[in-house]
Amino acid sequence: MHNDIQLQNSKQEHCVRCDGIFFEERIMIRRISKLLSGAPADQLIPMSVIVCADCYTPIEDTIPKIVTPTIADVPTIPSNIIKI
């Protein structure tokens, strides 16, 4: 393990869709049926995902591989909607 990792040796992450450099954390929810889990009710599983702050495209490395959508599956925000 390298203990001397320096920030200047890192690279800037860019959005694959819009080339943005700002990201935010969002929560993806998966539902497990009570029939599969044996629990009295369906179970909700929250998963943290990092998405582009401009177009909401996820960084694919942050999505569990079992549920990874392709970039084409991620909806974009219509250009006539203004983000605040």
- Residue 54: which domain range? 13-73
67 inside domain: yes
Total number of domains constituting the chain: 1
5 inside domain: no
Task: Please give the pLDDT value at position 56.
Answer: 92
Burial class for 63, CB neighbours closer than 10 Å (0-12, 13-18, 19+):
middle
Question: What's the pLDDT tens digit per position in 21-78?
Answer: 999 999 988 899 999 989 999 999 998 999 999 999 999 888 877 765 555 565 565 5
Token readout for 31 is 């539902």
Task: Please give the pLDDT value at position 62.
Answer: 86
Task: Please give the pLDDT value at position 73.
Answer: 60
Radius of gyration of the chain (CA): 17
State the Cα–Cα distance between residues 38 and 61, nearest whole angstrom. Answer: 31
Residue 13's pLDDT band (boundaries 50, 70, 90)? very high
Distances (CA, A) of 37 to 28, 46, 58: 19, 16, 28
Amino acid at 24: E
